[in-house]
Chain A
Amino acid sequence: MATTPDPQRHDVVFEEPTGPLAVPGVGAVVESEFASVSVRLDQSGNSVRLRVEDLRTGRVRFLDALELESIVWLEDGHLTQLLDPSHERWRG
């Protein structure tokens, strides 16, 4: 495993988030009246990932860099489809 930092990569600081929107041990909370999720960087893997937790159910998903980049590039229409309750979570 390479020990020299890749100069192409950005420095990642694993600070516990602070401030009114941060919950210790959970991470920064992204919240509205419709949903409540925590986000934090996770370094237990070989690359850093984003750990996202649905705080209302406890369900967790990790999103890697490529997945996040794909979300950034998702067409709005595709993102909207994901918001349809029947799309996955309440399919039937």
Chain B
Amino acid sequence: MTALLPPEIEGGSRFDRLVQPARVHGSLYTDPSIFAEELRKIWHRTWVFVGHESEVPQPNDYVRKQLADQDVVMTRDKDGELHLLINRCAHRGLQVCDDKAGNSSSFRCPYHGWTYRNTGELLGYPYNKGYGGKNKLELGMGKVARVDSYHGFVFGSLAAEGPSLDEHLGAAKGEIDRLVGLSPDGQVKLDAGWLRHRTRSNWKFLAENETDGYHPQFVHGSIFGVTGSPIGALYSDNSTAVTRNLGDGHSENDLRPEFRSFAEPMRWFGTTPDRVPGYVAAMHEAYGDDAQRRMIEGAPHVMIFPNLFIAEIQVFNIQPVAVGECVQYATAVQMAGGHELNQRMVSQSIGSVGPAGMLLADDTEMYERNQRGVEMADPEWLDVRRGLGRESVDAAGFTIGAATDETGMRGFWTHYKSLMEAED
């Protein structure tokens, strides 16, 4: 059931009532009409992470992807340009591509043979006299209006107009820079396949949880305990790590203060330089004096609004299915140069994430119990005030909270509200 409607607030918008500084309303997670509005105002409008250029390395490669409720085909045309086509024939609306991936300069719909270039342009149709000859139809496959990428991370926006990807990413670009800066050749690949984890929960529970530093000791205590992992301590009340609102709905758990205090290269990866000598040498070769800092500070833990979560060595692509269902696509970061870290990152990712992951299966259990809980009537609100009274502004002007504070969630909701208040 849907939670009760919140009380009126004098003079405010509908979302002023639902999204307040210290609390958000339960119906945001359960109301199908709000989900439909999110599709229009967020998922079909803002920049959404879709995939990575390394998934289509060769000219004419293509791969099926999901953009919210849209089945899209990410293609690289013969000239190397990326396109996101909507997988629907302009004739009768059939799905044009059926395979998950392939290499083809053109796509032929199996229903009546209509044929498209991998740019979406209609190339021809059988028995063209029925249409008065060739090139008579101003039709083509639908396209995601804008496609852009940053360090190979491909985003699409179904809106023809709006902020650029550069503007959308804002300060989060620096976090992607940090990630690729851990690769000796400055590039990462996401070509290790994707785990697909069906999650019976509203997508926003995931977006909020990704930089929630309050939950790890509880939800992940079972695995931290048996492996002796030091990760739990990073999210304790004594931790010097900070939660940062990066603006534009993005947030991070910045663990660098902790890693800097240890000043041990590769500690962030749970290893030591002598166990990955080839990688360490390549980093020194590539970055000289700065290599040590990079290997001490490690990879980012950043949630990029609305659906890209970089969890150090894993990348998550969250896609909504319905008000109470989403899919988490997860993969291991790979160094473009084919490094000794790659197999370790695959192995660690398999252990941690996906349907049987020793971390993410437990997060997902929480998301699903959360969804059931929030369908209850009382109390109507979810509390997001943790750390509100002890926030500060860092040297770069970002709001920061303690390691376990809900600063990231509040940043998420501020941006969410601004998008949902926009005109349809």
| A interface residues (Cβ-Cβ under 8 A, vs B) | 32-35, 76, 80, 83-87, 89-92
Contact = CB atoms under 8 A, between A and B. Distances in A.
Interface string B95-110: 0011100111111100
A84 B104 contact: no
Given A33-B97, A34-B108, A76-B78, A86 B102 contact: no
Given A32-B103, A89-B126, 9 more contacts: A33-B102, A35-B108, A83-B123, A83-B124, A84-B124, A84-B134, A90-B113, A92-B126, A92-B129
B97 A91 contact: no
Interface in B66-115: 78, 97-99, 102-108, 113-115
A92 B127 contact: yes
Contact of A85 (B102, B105, B117, B125): B125
B128 interface: yes
Given A34-B107, A85-B113, A80 B127 contact: no
Contacts of B105: 80, 83
Contacts of A86: 124-128, 134
Contacts of A80: 105-106, 117, 123
B128 A83 contact: no
Contacts of B123: 80, 83-84
B115 A83 contact: yes
A85 B103 contact: no
B135 to A, nearest CB: 9
25 contacts: A32-B104, A33-B98, A33-B99, A33-B102, A33-B104, A34-B104, A35-B108, A80-B105, A83-B115, A83-B124, A84-B123, A84-B124, A84-B128, A85-B113, A85-B114, A85-B126, A86-B124, A86-B126, A86-B128, A87-B124, A90-B113, A90-B126, A91-B127, A92-B127, A92-B128
Contacts of A35: 108
Contacts of B113: 85, 90
A84 B115 contact: yes
Nearest to A76: B78
Contact of B106 (A83, A87, A91, A92): A83
Contacts of A34: 104, 106-108
A92 B128 CA distance: 6
B104 A90 contact: no
Interface in B113-155: 113-115, 117, 123-129, 134
B143 to A, nearest CB: 18
B129 to A, nearest CB: 6
A90 B127 contact: yes
Nearest to A89: B126
Contacts of B117: 80
A92 B134 CA distance: 10
Contacts of B108: 34-35, 85
